[in-house]
Structure 1
Amino acid sequence: MVKRFLAQSMRRRTGLPSILMLLLVAAIIATIAWSLVKGFERERALRAQVEATSASMSEFGNMQRGVFEAVTGAHGYALKGDPRYLRRYNAGRETTENALETMANLPGPAEAGDRAAKMRELRETIDTHFRMIEIAVQLAQQGSTEEAQSWIAATDDYDRMTSIVALTQELEGEEAALLARDITAVEASAARTRPILLALLGSLFLFFLIGSWYALRTLRAERRAQAASAERAAREAADLLANELNHRVKNMFAIVQSIVGSTLRAESDTAMAAQKVGQRIQALSVAHDVSQGASTMSINALSELIERTLAPYEQDNRAILIDGPRVHLPRNLVTPLGLIIHELATNAVKYGAWSVEEGGTVKISWSLKGSPEMLKLTWQESGGPAPEEPDQTGFGSRMISTAARQLKAEVDQNWLETGLEVVISFELPAEEDDQ
């Protein structure tokens, strides 16, 4: 208990720095990501302001050209009455109005000072200028060319034009200064973003290295665990194999002893007894191969498997009854079923119906029913000593259980007064599933 507590405490202390490192890397990445988002938002606002300032400067140029076109057209129309000048006048006014409306809708910087007041003053000056020259245009349209010329000469527009040009240049200068400042700010923001991106990439790379280190460490631990598990499984398999070998050797000795003893008692002729002993031991070897799947003989039927497995046990003082329909036995079922029959026969010789001198009988019968087909095989002993259910499970019983799992079978053992009864039930696979 103390060792387990210490091991758990050590694992917790080992894991704490790892968790703290992961949290630190996550915090660094979150901070850098937040800085990037804020930087991108600031840069986007600056770029929007740069675009607005550029658009304002472009519209200032359009407005100046519009005013010049309108004044030139109005003067030409008043002097000559040529309609082409009138179209030039109207086009100039339209260009000016569009430029003023566009500039009014563009967002202006908060630091522009009295930009709005100057824009209003510029608009009022242009409107006044257009109202004055509109009178000359209307007089010319009415045919009063001399009055139109007199009106133009009387209304000196030099001061208004000078005021328009001055206001326009002043606003353009302010916009140019703002544009230069915003461009510088955008470049500075981009310059600040580069190291942040590099820091983010470095943090991600660090996180990748840490994750890779943890993954490698986990992989090594898993491999060590798998190796330990495989080694443990190999030891268990070796122990099982050794126990099975020991069990089979003991059984073989008991069966050989039974074969020799019963043959010598039944035969007075020594030569004939020796011949029968040799034949029965040879049959025992064949039955062992069949039960282990090592036989070169082709087993195609259940009756054939039972006959070959029980051949060594046939003696005059023993009865073997086999009854059942012909059943094709798939190859993958031969070994586990042969192992069960061989084990039951061995137990019958050692403890059951065949352990007595006379009258011991073993009946093996089977039947098929249902779809898919279910095979029910019954091993029934009689004529021997009354069986007793063992207090604990022996190695032979565990072997039968293991073989039954391979068959996916249910095994019921009944210790009746007449003798042991074992019922084995399992499903026969379809022929196309026979491997």
Structure 2
Amino acid sequence: MIGSNWTLPRWPNAVLLLFISGAMLGLIYLVYQTVEAEREERDQAALTADVLDQLERVQKAALNGETGQRGYLITLDRRYLRSYQEGSEQIEPTLDRLRVLLSENATARQEELLDEIDALSRAKFDEMESSVILLEDGRLLDARRQVLTDEGQETMERLNRAIGEMEEIERRILADQRSETARIEGRVLPLLGALITLLLLAILIGSRLVSRAARAEAEAAQAAAIGEARDRADLLARELNHRVKNLFAVVLAIVQMSARDKPEAKPVTDAIDARIRALLTAHEVSQGELDRELASLAALIDTTLAPYRSRTQAATVSGPQVLLPAKRITPLGLVLHELTTNAVKYGAWAHGGTIDVSWEEEANLVTLVWHESGVAIDGEPERKGFGSLLMDSAARQFGGSVKRDFTKDGLVVTIEIPHEKGPAMLADEPLA
């Protein structure tokens, strides 16, 4: 039974909230990773374009310088020096710009190539400047001999190769960045789908938890109502029990008053008084009024039989010492009281027979056998009366069973009672 202060555990809500938070953080991280990859791709594309542009400028400056040098050498027309001078002026800032662009992300090979391009460019322009100076000094033949050597051509070829390799490296870096971005984007879509699915699942679980919480609150309210009803029932039962006791007291007083003026009736009234007091004790036992946590099974049986037991209504009781908790004594007392009154009205004691009550204990189970003999029974009754229903209900209360067998010799009732032994149940003396 759910107590009135029962509440739904909070840890599922905390786990669900943590899960949703984790999923949201995962979504944010995936989106951030995708945006960051695209940004890096754009930055790399811009950097590569700028580097390629500067390399082209270096190559163009060297080519313009060489064209101007050769034109001036052949024609001695100073207008050709304009191309040479423009190339000479462009080469220095272009190389500086290249170094700035590659200062942070350059590979080791790029740094080597950058140094090589710088050295070859300067060597090429130094060679061209030397020939121009010779021409300016009127040493045409010396200038032509210098130009006709393979040194300038070899320098230009090496410069072109270095620039070509640098361009290839930049294009490869850009291609790798684009591949990485595509890989991240390809991974993000399935992960986003999975996370969205998990979020939907979390929402579904959350709705179920809310439903469970509402149901738990309803059950708690119902449990509180049941508890209040049980308290009212207990109060009514106590009141009824009190009135029954008062009735016994009134009957005892009437018996005693009736014998006050008739001494010859005292033996009879004393016997009646003893029977009534025994009946009162049996009633208290069956109603759980004995203020003890444990009670002796033998004492319960003897107390129940005592009001009716006599020489003509014989009964034998046998079995080992068994102590039962009060929660089982009360319903078991009701069963024994019902069997006893039935025996008096309809069973063995109504026909001069006897009752044998025995029990045995095995493991965590006590088996009690109520055997009536000396009365013939035609068979099981066609319908169950209130007493049978009462015994079945009591059996459910003490967690056991009541089985009735109607034999030719008499009624046999087998009662099974769960019994878990504890330290307090190992006493040598009965507690009732």
TM tier, smaller:
0.3 to 0.5
Greater relative CO (CA pairs within 8 A, separation 6+): 2
Q: TM-score, normalised by structure 2?
A: 0.48
Q: TM-score, normalised by structure 1?
A: 0.48
